[in-house]
């Protein structure tokens, strides 16, 4: 049975961030993820997890200047020192939060990048990931890379599952894995059942995420047959977590009928 983690950056936004931990726990979540922890002291986040019986299962490494539109730096030539300092900071948080996974965002390609420029970005990406995987491995943390669709994030360096798996295979680090977001995958590629059956058995997928398509609301809204996909995940005995990275249409708790129905059918 899939294990679900509440994404506190998108869910429970009707509450201040620290209060979201209690709200998620009250709705029966046992784990949480979110984009970035760095506005808070790690000891404070540790206390919130412990107070509400929650596990931290994922967060992102520093992404550069997010408010200015940056979406990661790992594939940006000339930003290697910043990227690596960000990895070190993320691993410090992971140690306090006992978080086993950190997502490393690649960044945006410049508009009209030539093949030569794209190759330079890829070389930078591979170099940073090689360094980061070694550092994270010593801390027993998995690094994740995620293909993101161009509609939500125009110019993002990594878009397709095959690209991400090729990077993981090329580098060969045991703790470098793919974050498979079914929302992004559906928009970019579709054929989700095939993607799950092809990629989960490889062991290269370290985390799943879900949301309804096309509007990124509850996963039972829109064009996905989420019950079928949960069945496929269950059939493949995926042992990781499924992050609920969606924007509720109204109150978060009121929109959890999909989860209550799933739990009731599998009690």
Residues annotated as catalytic (active site), given as ranges: 146, 245
Whole-Å CA distances, 158 to 74, 154, 202? 11, 11, 20
Q: How far is CA 68 from CA 65, 71, 72, 74, 159, in A?
A: 5, 9, 11, 17, 21
Q: What is the dihedral of CA 164, 166, 167, 170, to 10 degrees?
A: 160
Q: Which two tokens stand for residue 159?
A: 């878009």
User: Phi, psi at residue 195, to the nearest 5°?
Assistant: -60, -45
Question: 69's torsion region: left (phi>0), alpha (psi -120 to 50) or beta?
Answer: left
């Amino acid at each position: 049975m899939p294990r679900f983690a509440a994404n506190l950056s998108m869910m429970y936004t009707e509450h201040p961030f620290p209060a979201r931990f209690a709200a998620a726990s009250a709705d029966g979540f046992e784990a949480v993820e979110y984009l970035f922890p760095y506005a808070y002291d790690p000891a404070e986040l540790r206390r919130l997890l412990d107070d509400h019986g929650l596990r931290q299962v994922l967060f992102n490494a520093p992404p550069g200047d997010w408010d200015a539109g940056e979406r990661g730096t790992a594939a940006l030539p000339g930003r290697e020192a910043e990227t690596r300092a960000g990895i070190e900071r993320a691993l410090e948080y992971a140690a306090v939060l006992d978080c086993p996974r950190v997502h490393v965002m690649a960044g945006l390609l410049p508009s009209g990048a030539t093949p030569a420029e794209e190759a330079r970005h890829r070389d930078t990406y591979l170099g940073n990931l090689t360094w980061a995987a070694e550092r994270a491995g010593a801390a027993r943390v998995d690094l994740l890379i995620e293909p993101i669709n161009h509609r939500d994030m125009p110019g993002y360096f990594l878009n397709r599952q095959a690209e991400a798996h090729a990077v993981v295979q090329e580098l060969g680090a045991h703790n470098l894995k793919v974050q498979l977001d079914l929302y992004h995958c559906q928009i970019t590629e579709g054929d989700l059942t095939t993607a799950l059956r092809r990629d989960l058995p490889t062991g290269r997928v370290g985390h799943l995420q879900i949301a309804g398509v096309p509007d990124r609301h509850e996963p039972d809204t829109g064009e996905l047959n989420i019950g079928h996909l949960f069945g496929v995940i269950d059939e493949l005995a995926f042992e990781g977590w499924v992050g609920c990275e969606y924007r509720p249409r109204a109150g978060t708790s009121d929109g959890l009928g999909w989860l209550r129905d799933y739990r009731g059918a599998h009690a």
